[in-house]
C-alpha cells in the first residue's frame, strides 16, 4: 500500500510541476486563464502523467514499475 501512495504522490507532483511550468510560460496566474487557455495547461499536465505511466509500464525501464520485476 505504501508503494501505491508513493506512486500517487509522484503523479500529483509531476502534474503540479508541469502545470506550474506551463503557467509560467504563459506568464499568467491561475485566475487569469481565459476560457480556452486552461486546456493547454491541463494537456501539459496530462502529458507528463502519461510519460510517467509509460515509464512505469515499460519492461525495458529498470528504474521502477514493471521492468525491475521481470529482470
**Per-residue pLDDT tens for 7-28?**
788 888 888 888 888 877 777 6
Place of cell 525495458: 60
Task: Name the residue with higher pLDDT: 8 or 31.
Answer: 8
Average pLDDT of the segment spanning 44-59: 83
Mean pLDDT of the chain: 76
Q: Which long-range contacts (CB under 8 A, 24 or more apart) does 55-64 make?
A: 56/7
Residue 30 has a pLDDT of 62
Pairwise CA distance, residues 71 & 43, whole Å: 34
Amino acid at each position: 500500500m505504501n508503494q501505491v501512495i508513493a506512486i500517487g504522490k509522484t503523479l500529483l507532483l509531476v502534474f503540479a510541476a508541469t502545470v506550474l511550468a506551463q503557467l509560467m510560460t504563459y506568464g499568467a496566474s491561475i485566475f487569469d486563464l481565459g476560457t480556452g487557455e486552461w486546456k493547454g495547461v491541463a494537456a501539459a499536465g496530462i502529458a507528463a502523467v502519461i510519460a510517467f505511466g509509460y515509464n512505469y509500464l515499460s519492461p525495458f525501464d529498470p528504474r521502477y514499475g514493471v521492468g525491475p520485476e521481470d529482470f
